[in-house]
């Protein structure tokens, strides 16, 4: 296992992935620490990760994203700190706190993770099948 990188997902980036738990497992193969940073209340992040059986090394807690990125950078002394996010504000926070930024689409493409939008649609019912049954 590589131990030179700390990887933080913004909660919205995890939600954009088809298999967020699988992404976490894969990220552990090449990251020393993996966690979630979000402006959402702690219970929202905890519920989301618990339901998906995601074991995080850190999360933002009651802090804002910027304060969390600064705190994680201080606590986890790795060569690289990478923040996966979804919007320009995430890029700005990463830059402000000395993190590399990756948009979730780019991270997913590089790591082979499917985006939730990439999931195949369920097939439409055959014309003679009824779809109104419980």
For residue 131, is it within any domain?
A: no
pLDDT at 131 over 80: no
Q: Answer whether residue 132 is part of any domain.
A: no
pLDDT of amino acid 3: 59
CATH number at residue 97: 3.40.50.1000
How many domains does one find in the chain?
A: 1
Q: pLDDT per residue over 59-99, tens digit each? A: 887 788 999 999 999 999 999 999 999 999 999 999 999 99
What is the C-alpha separation between 41 and 44, in angstroms, rounded?
A: 5
In a domain, 130, yes or no: no
Q: What is the pTM of this model?
A: 0.84
SS3 assignment for 95-116:
HHCCCEEEEHHHHHHHHCCCEH
Judge whether 125 lies within some domain.
no
What range does the domain containing 19 cover? 5-117
pLDDT at 87: 96
Whether residue 40 is contained in a domain is answered as: yes
pLDDT band at 27 (very low <50, low <70, confident <90, very high): very high
- Residue 62 burial (C-beta neighbours within 10 Å; 0-12, 13-18, 19+): exposed
pLDDT of 34: 97
């Amino acid at each position: 296992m590589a131990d030179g990188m700390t990887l933080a997902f913004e909660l919205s980036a995890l939600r954009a992935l088809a298999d967020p738990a699988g992404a976490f497992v894969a990220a552990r193969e090449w990251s020393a620490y993996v966690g979630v940073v979000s402006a959402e209340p702690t219970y929202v992040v905890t519920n989301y990760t618990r339901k998906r059986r995601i074991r995080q090394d850190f999360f933002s807690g009651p802090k804002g994203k910027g304060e969390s990125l600064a705190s994680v950078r201080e606590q986890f002394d790795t060569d690289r700190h990478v923040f996966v996010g979804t919007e320009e504000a995430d890029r700005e926070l990463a830059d402000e706190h000395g993190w590399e930024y990756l948009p979730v689409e780019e991270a997913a493409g590089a790591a082979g993770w499917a985006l939730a939008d990439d999931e195949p649609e369920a097939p439409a019912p055959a014309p003679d099948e009824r779809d109104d049954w419980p």
